A and B are shown apart, each in its own frame.
Chain A
Amino acid sequence: MKKIFSLVLAVLMVASCAVAFASCNGGSKALFEKDPEDNVIVKIGGIGPLTGDYASYGNSVKNGAQIAVDMLNESGALKGIKFELLFEDSEGDGTKAVNAFGKLQDDGMNVSLGGVLSGETKNIVASAAESGILVLTPSASAKDAINKDNAFRVCFNDPQQGLYAAEIIKEKGLATKIALFYDNGNDYCKGNADTFKSRAAELGLQIVTEQTYTEGSNTDFSTQITAIKEAGAELVFMPIYYSDAAKFLRQAVDTLDTVFFGVDGLDGLIGECGTEHASDCEDVILLTPYFADSVDPTVKSFVEAYEEKFGATPDQFAADGYDAVLAIAEAIEENGFTPDQLMEITAEDFNKKMVAAMTKITVTGATGVMTWTADGETDKDPNVLQIKGGEYVEYKTADAE
Chain B
Amino acid sequence: MTLLIQTLIQGISLGSIYALIALGYTMVYGIAKMLNFAHGDVIMVGAYTIYSTILLAHFPGWLGVISAVVFCGVLGVVIEFLAYKPLRGAPSLNVLITAIGVSYLLQNMALLLFGGNQKSMLPDSFDFPDVKIGNTGITVTGEVIFTITLTVVLMVALTLFINKTKMGKAMRAVSEDKDAARLMGINVNRTISVTFAIGSILAAFASLCYGMSYAYIKPTTGSMPGIKAFTAAVFGGIGSIPGAMLGGFVIGILEKLSSAYISTQFTDAIVFGVLIVMLVVRPTGLLGKKIREKV
- A-side interface residues toward B, CB under 8 Å? 51-53, 55-56, 184, 211-214, 216-217, 219-220, 222-224, 226-227, 230, 243, 246-247, 250-251, 254-255, 272-274, 276-279
Contacts and interface: CB of A to CB of B under 8 A. Distances in A.
Interface string B65-90: 00000000000000000000000000
B101 interface: no
B251 to A, nearest CB: 13
Contacts of B123: 276
A214 B263 CA distance: 11
Interface stretch (B2-10, B102-110, B277-285): B2-10
A55 B264 contact: no
Nearest to B214: A219
A211 B259 CA distance: 10
A254 B130 contact: yes
Nearest to A55: B117
Contact of B10 (A219, A223, A230): A223
A216 B264 contact: no
Interface in B214-262: 214-216, 218, 224, 256, 259-260
Contacts of A217: 259, 264, 267-268
B188 interface: no
Nearest to B144: A222
Contact of A255 (B139, B216, B267): B139
B259 A274 contact: no
Contacts of A273: 120
Contacts of B10: 220, 222-223, 226
A279 B124 contact: yes
B47 to A, nearest CB: 12
Nearest to B2: A230
B265 A214 contact: yes
Nearest to A184: B265
A226 B140 CA distance: 11
Contacts of B116: 51-53, 55
B215 A216 contact: no
Nearest to B10: A222
B256 A223 contact: yes
B26 to A, nearest CB: 23
A211 B268 CA distance: 16
Contacts of A211: 264
B2 A277 contact: no
Contacts of A243: 117-118, 216
Contact of B6 (A56, A212, A226, A274): A226
B256 A276 contact: no
Nearest to A226: B6
A212 B264 contact: yes
B273 interface: no
A222 B256 contact: yes
**Interface SS majority for chain A:** helix
Interface of B: 2-3, 6-7, 10, 14, 55, 115-118, 120, 122-124, 130, 139, 141, 213-216, 218, 224, 256, 259-260, 264-265, 267-268
Contact of A219 (B3, B122, B224): B224
A246 B119 CA distance: 10
B267 A226 contact: no
Given A226-B6, A277-B124, A251 B256 contact: no
A135 B1 CA distance: 54
Contact of A226 (B7, B224, B265): B7
23 contacts: A51-B115, A53-B218, A55-B117, A216-B268, A219-B224, A220-B14, A222-B10, A224-B264, A227-B3, A227-B260, A230-B2, A243-B216, A246-B216, A247-B118, A251-B213, A251-B214, A255-B139, A255-B141, A273-B120, A276-B55, A276-B122, A277-B124, A277-B215
Contacts of A224: 264
Nearest to B141: A254
Given A213-B264, A246-B120, 13 more contacts: A56-B117, A217-B264, A219-B214, A222-B10, A222-B256, A223-B256, A226-B6, A226-B10, A246-B215, A246-B216, A277-B120, A277-B215, A279-B124
Contact of A276 (B6, B120, B214): B120
Contacts of B264: 211-214, 217, 223-224
Contact of B224 (A216, A227, A278): A216
B209 to A, nearest CB: 12
Nearest to B130: A254
Contact of A223 (B2, B216, B218, B260): B260
B256 to A, nearest CB: 6
Contacts of B14: 220
B115 to A, nearest CB: 7
B139 A220 contact: no
Contacts of B268: 216-217
Most chain B CB within 10 A, of A213, A226, A279, is at: A226
In the A-B complex, the 9 residue pairs with the smallest Cβ-Cβ separation, listed nearest first, are: A250-B215, A223-B259, A222-B10, A52-B116, A276-B120, A223-B260, A51-B116, A276-B123, A247-B216
Contacts of A255: 139, 141
A214 B139 CA distance: 26
